[in-house]
Amino acid sequence: MTGDTDDKPAAAGKLELLLERLDEAISVLARARSFAKPGKMQRVFETARRVLLQEGGCGALEARARHLEEAGIFEGSDWASPQILIPSLSTHSLQSPVEDTVMVEALSELRLLAVALGDYRHPLISQEQAHHYLTQVLAINLTMLFTPPSEAERETQGRLAQVSRRLLRHLADRIGFEHIIDKLIEEIWRVLQQRPIQVDSVKQMVTQIAVCQANPNIELGGSGQGGERLVSSLYGPSLGCREDPGLEVYRERLQRMDRGALQGEATGFARAMHDTGLVSPYHPVLLHHLLDHGDHLLAEALGLSATGRDCMLCYNELVRELVRTAVLPPTAQAVYGLALMLERGILYQPPVAPAIWRQINLPLSEWSREHLLAAYGHDAPPEARLLEGVLCMLGLPLGVGQGNNPTCQSARALSMWAYNDPDYLLQMVAWAARDDEIVMHFEGQPISSQDSVLGVAKELPMDLDPLSLLVVPHLDRIYAEMGRRCVAREGDPHRWVNPEFHGWWAGRGFSINVDVETGQLVDLDRFLRHFYACYHPYYNGNQPLIHPQPAGIAFTDSAARFIGWHAITILRTALDPQDVMRVYFFNPNNDSAQDWGDGVVVSTSGRGERYGEASLPFEQFASRLYIYHYDPLEGGELASVSDEELERVKAYLYRSWGADRIPATDLQASPANPNDSH
């Protein structure tokens, strides 16, 4: 006991000495010129690693997180922009054999921990976003958190393996370990309610839950409620594969099942898929087996209603060929896309079925094949991967996301075409995947994606669904070229670009409430009244929106601070179950459930939303809107909105992104302190 007591002051003294050295290294880094900073970082990383391995070292680094960032420790790296970091990539960094990579990831996580706990107000990421990110990091790295380093880790990382584990334990202790599993399950269900096309990260998290549940050394206590349904949907959705026996064993079991047993299998798989939006790798095995057992069981396994069943019977051979070519265990989500595409009935549009036949037999260019293999690996043919993407896009047109790329315009266009003009989308896919070129027209002049080399995205996007992976780079370059052709014109280029880029149904009428030159608000009352006249059922003769319309919002964080301009699609306006008039819209920003500050919280379920829709009360949505399109030949009369309602909308605006954009004439009417409501 005496030795232990003596060791504590010694350890504390060692930590104190290391912290003095660390503070000195941070000061040296802070004073260095930008070009000299990389040479000063090594000392910081080395000292920080030694600090982190000491008792209390993680807390000491957490307390210095702000100073480390301000000194420039993340300068010149992806970690300098925490808002773009991807939780799933943290595993690669934390298991890297390179000390600098492990340490920059560790310091970044400790910085976000300080933000998540409210100790560091960061200009680029909110407290809620940081907490959400760290919860995902912990969920994805649960195995590392619970188990000692493997032999491979010890060989490649050495003592760095302990750095990662000490970091994760500290994160779990500070956030509250008992809530991690529950938060993870809650988070998975929240994301799945939006029915995204890309669910690989969700499947990874479900797999981690399954690993924890199966590990007798992990005591979950009362946590983990609701996880069983998620795990079973992937690894045991039916009696025939309840214990996750493996694909080959399940295939053999199917050979011995009678029709009644197959009916039970089909029902179980369909229920699990439609409940969660996740498709088990066993599901394709069942569908291939059922191709020889009649249409009834096939429709049952897809979970089709009368509408989908009729569509499947009308296009029976096409559906069967899609199952044969696109539905494989590695491309299991194609099952859900196929089912929802049939439910939409879009095959009844004359061009769609022939276009899908073309897609099935489409020869891919060498670049397209290599790009798909680089992004998704070799466990499925590139043709099957692309078909999976096509089916998911057609079945879930509001499930497409832009990834961590500034390509919201292109993602919005793909969603709009899948929603409104599916045969045009399929034509775009054929051009991009087969010809490595898309040609669109701007005011009668052709624009080739091959001639337009620079897009909005500086690097080739890789974190996209298979269809977007091939088409977005072409669209991005064309969109940027359309913008360049409008540079000399007065006003916002979206006035001309959006209708040409998205389609004829995008209204040629255009309204904006920001002066492009100065960034100041202009003609706000007219902008809002006209928006009400065009889109609010009480002021437009109760005319529903016929075609989705492109619009632009001023995106704000949870503190109502302006982040940037963002492209969305207005889908419809309607009363919700509580009789509140809401705008339902598509947001390509991967996760639509966002807090935009000042009580403006975007809803994705429970208020009348369909899968993939986001919604806000009309007033709150109008307060974040800065451009919209309309048909100049329809309506156009300014709505007789009450001054009281208009002032409520303007107050939301002035307390958020419009705080420093208020025209001089409106200064007296605006709140004295834009932050009074926070």
pLDDT digits 0-9 by tens, 580-615: 999 999 999 877 878 888 999 999 999 999 999 999
- Domain ranges in the chain are 14-175, 236-348, 361-485, 509-666
Confidence of residue 210 (pLDDT cuts 50, 70, 90): confident
pLDDT digits 0-9 by tens, 636-676: 568 889 999 999 999 999 999 999 998 665 554 444 333 33
Per cent of the chain over pLDDT 90 is 70
- The answer to whether residue 272 scores a pLDDT higher than 70 is yes
- The answer to whether residue 363 scores a pLDDT higher than 60 is yes
- The answer to whether residue 179 scores a pLDDT higher than 90 is no
Number of neighbours of residue 53 by Cβ within 10 angstroms: 16
Confidence of residue 214 (pLDDT cuts 50, 70, 90): confident
Q: What is the pTM of this model?
A: 0.81
Structural contact between residues 461 and 401, judged by C-beta atoms closer than 8 angstroms: no
Mean pLDDT computed over 421-449:
96
Structural contact between residues 385 and 329, judged by C-beta atoms closer than 8 angstroms: no
**CA pair distance 538, 32, nearest whole angstrom:** 62
- The answer to whether residue 269 scores a pLDDT higher than 60 is yes
Question: For residue 67, how many C-alpha atoms fall within 13 Å in the half-sphere facing its CB?
Answer: 16
Q: What's the pLDDT at 8?
A: 58
Task: Tell me what the pLDDT averaged over the chain comes to.
Answer: 90
Q: What Cα–Cα distance (Å) separates residue 380 from each residue in 324, 386, 482?
A: 13, 10, 36
Mean pLDDT computed over 609-622:
96
- The answer to whether residue 1 scores a pLDDT higher than 50 is no
Q: What's the pLDDT at 219?
A: 65
Q: What's the pLDDT at 461?
A: 80
- The answer to whether residue 677 scores a pLDDT higher than 50 is no
- The answer to whether residue 527 scores a pLDDT higher than 50 is yes
Sign of CA dihedral 594, 588, 548, 356: negative
SS3 481: helix
**CA pair distance 76, 603, nearest whole angstrom:** 36
